[in-house]
Amino acid sequence: MSEIEVRHLSKTFTQKDLKVDALSDINLTVEKGDIYGIIGMSGAGKSTLVRCLNFLEKPTEGQVFIEGRELGSMDEKQLRKQRMKIAMIFQNFNLLGQKNSIENICFPLTIQGKPKKEARKRAQELLETVGLAEKAKSYPSQLSGGQKQRVAIARALACDPSILLCDEATSALDPQTTESILGLLKEINEKLGITIVIITHQMAVIQKICNRVAIIENGHLVEDGLVTDIFAHPKSHAARELILRDARGEVSSAAAQVDEITEGQKIRIVFSENSAFEPVIANMILQFGHPVNILLANTRNVGGVAKGEMVLQLPDDRDLRFKMENYLKDRGLELEEVDD
C-alpha cells in the first residue's frame, strides 16, 4: 500500500466571477520512506497540491488516500486525528513569537492533552534530535533562520508523524543553512522512517535529497519519476527549463556565455563523472578540425551519485553538426537539444 495516493485531483478556486484552475487531474503516488519532491515555477500549484494532501485545502474533484484511507470519506474528527500524523513545516517557520523553543515544541503536545512534564521531556529530546539542545529557552527572535527551522522541525515531529510535508522549507535560507537543514531532513527520513514530501522551486534541493520527483506546470503534472532518470533524460519542457535554470545559476560565468551566444544548435549531454567524456570531445574536435563551444560544464550530486553535464554549441553548418552528433552518439552519449 502506498503512503500517499492522489487520484484525479483537481482544484478550482472561485472568487465572484473569477475561476482559477489551480490543479487539473493530478495523479501521483508516494511510497513509504520516499523523499518525494514536487517542483514547479511560481504559481504552478505546488502549495495548493501540498495543502490538498492533508485536506487543509479540499479538492474540487478527485481523491487523496493516506495509507489506503481516503481523506474525503472522513468526518472532521477523523480528519483532525489523521492530520496529527501529517506534520508540516513552512518557509516562514510559523513559530509562536511569545513562546521559547521548548514551549513552541510542547504546544501541539499540550493541545493533545499530554501532561506538561511529559511534554517538556519529549520537547527536550526533540531539541536534541535537531541539534539545538542549548537553545531551549531562546525565543524565535533570538534564533537564526536555520535555528528557527530546526525548532519548527522539532515541533513537527512532536506528534510522531508518519509524513512530513515541507512547503518551501529552505527557500528563506542561505545555501549553507539550506544544506544543513536538508541534511537534517534526510537524517529524519532515514532514522525515524518518516516519509517526506518537499515542495520547492529549486532543482538543487530535489537533487540533493529526493529520490522521486513530480514536475508541476500550470496546474498539470507534466512529468514524474526517479530523480536520477529525470535529471539524465528530462522529457518535459518544464523539467529541462528547471534543470538548466539551476545549472546556469551555479555556473554564473558560463551563464554569461549562454546569454551572449544565441546562434547555433545547443545540445545537453549528461554523463557519469568517471566516464571518459573529455577525451571524446577533444577527439571529436581533432577529427572534424572544427571547434565547439562549451557553454556549460558542471558536476552535480544527483541522488548521491556524481553526474556531469555539459551544454555544447555545435557549428552552424548542418552537415558538420549532424556528423558531430552521430560521433557523440556512436560513443554511447545521449544528447538532447536545448532551447534558447
Question: Of the listed pieces 42-50, 70-78, 133-141, 156-164, which binds ligand ATP according to CB under 6 A?
Answer: 42-50
Q: Is 20 in the site for ligand ATP (CB under 6 A)?
A: yes
Q: Is 178 in the site for ligand ATP (CB under 6 A)?
A: no
Q: Is 170 in the site for ligand ATP (CB under 6 A)?
A: no
Q: Is 48 in the site for ligand ATP (CB under 6 A)?
A: yes
Q: Is 44 in the site for ligand ATP (CB under 6 A)?
A: yes
- What is the SS3 string spanning the chain? CCCEEEEEEEEEEEECCEEEEEEEEEEEEECCCCEEEEECCCCCCHHHHHHHCCCCCCCCEEEEEECCEEHHHCCHHHHHHHHHCEEEEECCCCCCCCCCHHHHHHHHHHHCCCCHHHHHHHHHHHHHHCCCHHHCCCCHHHCCHHHHHHHHHHHHHCCCCCEEEEECCCCCCCHHHHHHHHHHHHHHHHHHCCEEEEEECCHHHHHHHCCEEEEEECCEEEEEEEHHHHHHCCCCHHHHHHHHHHHHHHCHHHHHHHHHCCCCCEEEEEEECCCCHHHHHHHHHHHHCCCCEEEEEEEEEECCEEEEEEEEECCCCHHHHHHHHHHHHHCCCCEEEECC
Write the binding mask 180 to 219 for ligand ATP: x where contact by CB under 6 A, - elsewhere: ---------------------x------------------
Q: Is 43 in the site for ligand ATP (CB under 6 A)?
A: yes
Q: Is 45 in the site for ligand ATP (CB under 6 A)?
A: yes
Q: Is 40 in the site for ligand ATP (CB under 6 A)?
A: yes
- Of 48 and 101, the one with the shorter C-beta distance to ligand ATP is 48
Q: Is 245 in the site for ligand ATP (CB under 6 A)?
A: no
Q: Is 16 in the site for ligand ATP (CB under 6 A)?
A: no
In the complex, what is the shortest distance from the CB of residue 65 to ligand ATP, in angstroms, rounded to a whole number? 21
Question: Of the listed pieces 12-20, 101-109, 289-297, 308-316, which binds ligand ATP according to CB under 6 A?
Answer: 12-20
- Of 37 and 40, the one with the shorter C-beta distance to ligand ATP is 40
Q: Is 47 in the site for ligand ATP (CB under 6 A)?
A: yes
Kindly tell me which residue out of 1, 13, 94, 111 binds ligand ATP, with binding defined by CB under 6 A.
13
Contact set with ligand ATP (CB under 6 A) = 13, 15, 20, 22, 40, 42-48, 201
